[in-house]
Amino acid sequence: PSITRGVTVEIPKVSWDDIGGLNDLKKKLKQAVEWPLKHSDAFSRLGVSPMRGILLHGPPGCSKTTLAKAAAHAAQASFFSLSGAELFSMYVGEGEALLRNTFRRARLVAPSIIFFDEADVIAAKRGNGSSGSTTVGERLLSTLLTEMDGLEEAKGILVLAATNRPHAIDAALMRPGRFDLVLYVPPPDLEARYEILRVHTRGMKVGNDVDLRQLAEETEHFTGAELEGLCREAGIVALREDITASIVHARHFQTVKSSLKPALTKQEID
């Protein structure tokens, strides 16, 4: 439920099991998130400052947002979600106020994760845009830097950011104590595609003729989002064919698959 315009807060319900593939990444993220959020006292005991920010980068539709949510779920942390593009489009001063307000609220209900989607929009390299837009971006970025530096005293708050354009992120954000960890979220390989198809057919009635292994082989270059769409659409095709249908068959998956073109190009994957 939304409490402030532009921010939603909740403890997400999605879990690590809802994400197919990416096992090593899930492990790394799990540790990186759970340690500072759950054991912040242990860090202060040793005089070690816990991680404050994690940057997830990779092509669209490959579970960056879902990973951030699963991390919050695992740590039972409140999840504050902000969109870089939305902040950027707000009236003068409104975006900065929302940023500060979000950090304040996150402190109140810690443990919290603050998630920035399209982070490159507000964290773009300084001084290389058109004059008007640079000013808005610069102010947002400097507010974000101030808030992140202020996390030193705050316990149980972690900032996660997602971008498709990691090279556009300002170097100031990549210094230690800001985004300490950078993780690449790759498009799914064969095994991951199989796992993703399994996740998204878990709740469906699929016929014995549906071979998910083969389907995974036939969906090279598909993103997780596209595989999810494929499963859902197959169900719709089955119902369109017969509204009393109780099983989704292989031919329904095939019909959808042949009408889809994966959005990722080979170049983006390499």
CB of residue 139 to ligand ATP, shortest distance in Å = 24
Q: Which stretch binds ligand ATP (CB under 6 A): 17-25, 123-131, 235-243, 255-263?
A: 17-25
Nearest residue to ligand ATP by CB is 224
Residues whose CB is less than 8 angstroms from the CB of residue 27 and which lie 6 or more positions away in sequence, other chains included: none
Among 199, 206, 215, 231, binds ligand ATP (CB under 6 A): 199
- Give the count of residues interacting with ligand ATP (CB under 6 A): 20
Which of 155, 156, 167, 68 shows the shortest CA–CA distance to 124? Answer: 167
Antiparallel, parallel or unpaired: β 78-83 and 112-117: parallel
- Nearer Cβ to ligand ATP, position 140 or 160? 160
If one asks whether residue 96 binds ligand ATP (CB under 6 A), the answer comes out as: no
If one asks whether residue 228 binds ligand ATP (CB under 6 A), the answer comes out as: yes
If one asks whether residue 212 binds ligand ATP (CB under 6 A), the answer comes out as: no
Give every strand in the sheet of 2-4, ordered side by side. Answer: 2-4, 7-10, 78-83, 112-117, 157-163, 53-57, 179-184
d(CA 248, CA 179): 44
d(CA 39, CA 171): 29
- Which 8-state DSSP code applies to residue 173? G
**DSSP string over 61-117:** TSSHHHHHHHHHHHTT-EEEEEEHHHHHTSPTTHHHHHHHHHHHHHHHT-SEEEEEE
Among 6, 12, 20, 235, binds ligand ATP (CB under 6 A): 20
Share in percent of the chain as helix, strand, coil (round to 5): 50, 15, 35
- Nearer Cβ to ligand ATP, position 193 or 252? 193
Q: Is 8 helix (H, G, I), strand (E, B) or coil?
A: strand
Rg of the chain taking only CA atoms, in angstroms: 21
Residue 81 pairs in a beta bridge with 8, 115
What binding mask, one character per residue, do residues 124-163 give for ligand ATP by CB under 6 A, x or -? --------------------------------------x-
Which of 58, 55, 19, 8 shows the shortest CA–CA distance to 180? Answer: 55
If one asks whether residue 224 binds ligand ATP (CB under 6 A), the answer comes out as: yes
- Nearer Cβ to ligand ATP, position 7 or 22? 22
- Which 8-state DSSP code applies to residue 167? G
If one asks whether residue 230 binds ligand ATP (CB under 6 A), the answer comes out as: no
- Nearer Cβ to ligand ATP, position 170 or 195? 195
Among 225, 245, 250, 269, binds ligand ATP (CB under 6 A): 225
Q: Which of residues 33-92 bind ligand ATP (CB under 6 A)?
A: 60-66
If one asks whether residue 164 binds ligand ATP (CB under 6 A), the answer comes out as: yes
- Nearer Cβ to ligand ATP, position 151 or 183? 183
CB of residue 169 to ligand ATP, shortest distance in Å = 14
Residues that bind ligand ATP (CB under 6 A): 19-22, 60-66, 117, 162, 164, 188, 196, 199, 224-225, 228
